[in-house]
Structure 1
Amino acid sequence: MNASKSPAADSARLFGSMFAGQLSLLVLTPILSGVAADLGVSSAAAGQLRAMSGMVAALVAIGLAVSRRRRELRGLLELGLGLLTLAAAASVLAPSFAALAAAQAVLGAGVSLVLAGGLAAAGSWAPAGDRATLLSWAMVGAPSAWIAGMPLIGLLGGHSWRLAWLVPLVASLLSLRAVSRREHGPLEPTPLPVLSILRRPKATRWAVSELLAYGGWSGVLVYVGTLLTEAHGASTATTGLALGGGAVAYVVATFLARRWVDRASRPMVLVAGSALIAATLILGAVRPSFAFSVGMWAVTAFVAGVRMMAGSSVGLDLGDVGPLQAMSVRAASMQAGYLAGAVLGGLGLALGGWTVVGVALAVPLLLAVGVTATDHQTTARPKVGVR
């Protein structure tokens, strides 16, 4: 087998690509106050940088999903990683807040291309029987960035927020080099027209389910750190360690789920999705101690890892909807889910505290399970009158 196309080499490429993409989004988290102070803007204004990248990422993902152009995945990943490299370098050198905001727009486009292209490649590049392996390595790239990348970003960011951007810069460059060493593959199948996708109930239900699930899960990601610091008075350092523990649980769950995901992805979405509802409710409503909340956060991250791994596998099995088009829809769902989750969690916190936050975030998760259950029943129902 050509080493440049071996499953092990492709797993490393996809892991590195998703790792670099997530690092590019994470880097602003610990350095926003430093950015605001150095560039002479308010913290609220600096916080809009993430909104800028998220909005562009969503638009690019939608553009990929509706485009009829056939694309080649290695080239798509190279473009995405190249944009991430350019955005990180521009951020290091940004002379003004406006320049930094422009770099975040480029970054958002790169993240979207890497996310859609990386997960599609897990389906298209995998030899028979190895898809779950490639998919699992791609999906653990993002949580691994929390575990390995965030401490380094925090360390460099303590000296200068500009130095923190060197972490995603190096990660993107290394991943770009690895991807460029792979042979080009065939073009992806011609994408279906949008109306044609909407006429396919299975594809529509999957897309709606992913949007709802990411709305609830993303809200948990946005607010769990605040829950630990405000509800329990934990320090920022202690909270950071706790969040890293949840990321480890997500990684472990993803690797465990790959054993069954090829043959039982839809039932896994139902079971893990239901468990995620319960875990989210308990995380928000039951807070007897810091240790209990940390444990529940790890449980929540674990079942989320299983749910998202299984949901991605379902998306790669949509028949005539190609992997790239399906994963572009998923990327758009993720970005929209982050926005929806942030809004829902914020409303819940304003209206009634952490218990209401748990309920608010559990609602889209419940709806996601309901949509998936409807799809599962339709798929499993035997045809009557056909011989």
Structure 2
Amino acid sequence: MKSPAVTLFGCLFAGQSGLLVLTPVLSDVARDFDVSTAAAGQLRSVSGAVAAVVALGLLAGRRGWHLRDLLSGGLTSIAIASVASAVAPSFEVLATAQIILGAGMALVLAAGLAAPARWAPDGQRAAVLSWALIGQPVAWVVGMPIVGVLGAQSWRLIWLLPLVASLLALTGVRGHERGEPEPAAVGSPLRRPGVARWAAGELLAFAGWAGVLVYTGSLITDSHAVSVTTAGTALGIAASAYVVGTLLARRWVALAAHRMVLVTAPALAAAALLLGSFRPSFGMSVALFALTAFIAGMRMMAGSSLGLDLGAGPLQAMSVRAAAVQFGYFGGSALGGLGLILAGWSGLGSVLAILLLLSVGVTAAPRTSAKVGAR
């Protein structure tokens, strides 16, 4: 059997690849289709809204799902959407392709983060979960320079990254046994103590982080007049800070996941505010993005661990999280775009900081006796 850590790393890498490819080329896409950069940023809103609906569909279903089947379906959807996006003749067709992409991302995110609870050896859930989560920032570290090089030729070539990544991950997933299906949901997991507040906090936190991911590439190219290749390479290197934050958080989540969520969110808000408002140089903007990514890695690891410990069942909890993440991406892209239109990059940073601070106010899920290292 394939290593679950390696397989899930590849799945989350592929899912994140579909999200990140547009980041440094939004301006090029907007120019090619004669729309504004803010309008191009709403492409992520489209995929996010669809992903949220699909994640909610997993919760509403009354059948048991095989995690391997969900991952295979999600990765196949990402591959199809990548091809459709690369050949899109109009902005409308490109937006339609994001519908398929969003569905695939939801399946990969929900099943990929539920799988550590089922596939990890005894006592290794935190380790496997962290490797799954690390697949996302590593996609930035490896993918952004690739996107920068490809995007310098044509934004259409950037879709090679999620296409290849999803096909490789699909090979790994098919090497795992199908196993038993996840138990069907009995009632809404949101009715369990602490789950609704945790989900609301994840939604707001991801809204703020999504705005950073969607608009930072354009912030750097527009503010500092650097090339797409330079911006993509710099952001890719800076995103490695997310990996460090995730690995660091893994050491404490078993005992302090709730406390970590409440402490890291305000720090993330301050970093996002600085990123949008303080842009004296290209190097400083990249450094602030690295700081933001580091704090985000800690916040998202802690939030995921907390959700798995709330007793809603792995797939149900991570489906709730996937819906919250995607609604958050939708809201972050939309509200971030509004802040950008009304007050420029400083307005963007202010909006994102407010969303992150609000996440602190609603995240009051009680700590449980379960440990993240348990099965």
Give me the whole-angstrom Cα distance separating, in 2, the residues matched to 1:280 and 1:30.
Answer: 18
Residue of structure 2 equivalent to 1:254: 246
Aligned in 2, Cα 1:144/1:202: closer, same or farther, shift over 3 Å?
same
Give me the whole-angstrom Cα distance separating, in 2, the residues matched to 1:322 and 1:352.
Answer: 43
In structure 2, the residue corresponding to 1:188 is in which secondary structure?
A: coil
Give me the whole-angstrom Cα distance separating, in 2, the residues matched to 1:48 and 1:360.
Answer: 16
State the 1:365 CA deviation: 1.4
TM norm structure 1: 0.84
Residue of structure 2 equivalent to 1:375: 365
What amino acid sits opposite 1:262 in the alignment? A
Give me the whole-angstrom Cα distance separating, in 1, the residues matched to 2:67 and 2:86.
Answer: 29
What is the CA deviation profile of residues 48-89 of structure 1, one whole-angstrom value per residue up to 9, with x for unaligned ones? 654433332221112112222211111111111122223334
Q: Are 2:308 and 1:322 aligned?
A: no
Q: Kindly report which structure 2 residues correspond to 1:1-387, keeping only aligned pairs within 5 A, or say none.
A: 4=1, 9-29=3-23, 41-44=33-36, 49-92=43-86, 100-159=94-153, 161-194=155-188, 197-319=189-311, 321-372=312-363, 374-376=364-366
> Percent identity, aligned pairs only?
59
What amino acid sits opposite 1:276 in the alignment? L
Residue of structure 1 equivalent to 2:372: none
Check conservation: 1:68, 1:193, Cα contact below 8 A. Answer: no
State the 1:223 CA deviation: 3.1
Segment drifting more, 167-176 vs 11-20: 167-176
**Matched pairs, number:** 367
Aligned in 2, Cα 1:268/1:69: closer, same or farther, shift over 3 Å?
same
Check conservation: 2:204, 2:355, Cα contact below 8 A. Answer: yes
Aligned in 2, Cα 1:27/1:286: closer, same or farther, shift over 3 Å?
closer
In structure 2, the residue corresponding to 1:165 is in which secondary structure?
A: helix
Give me the whole-angstrom Cα distance separating, in 2, the residues matched to 1:132 and 1:78.
Answer: 23
In structure 1, the residue corresponding to 2:239 is in which secondary structure?
A: helix
What amino acid sits opposite 2:129 in the alignment? L
Give me the whole-angstrom Cα distance separating, in 1, the residues matched to 2:291 and 2:155.
Answer: 33
Aligned in 2, Cα 1:228/1:75: closer, same or farther, shift over 3 Å?
same
Segment drifting more, 210-219 vs 230-239: 230-239
Q: Which has the higher contact order (CA 8 A, sep 6+)?
A: 2
Give me the whole-angstrom Cα distance separating, in 1, the residues matched to 2:117 and 2:105.
Answer: 19
Unmatched segments (≥5 aa) in structure 2: 370-375
Check conservation: 1:65, 1:326, Cα contact below 8 A. Answer: no
Residue of structure 2 equivalent to 1:384: none
TM norm structure 2: 0.86
Give me the whole-angstrom Cα distance separating, in 2, the residues matched to 1:304 and 1:125.
Answer: 26
Unmatched segments (≥5 aa) in structure 1: 381-387
Give me the whole-angstrom Cα distance separating, in 2, the residues matched to 1:260 and 1:130.
Answer: 14
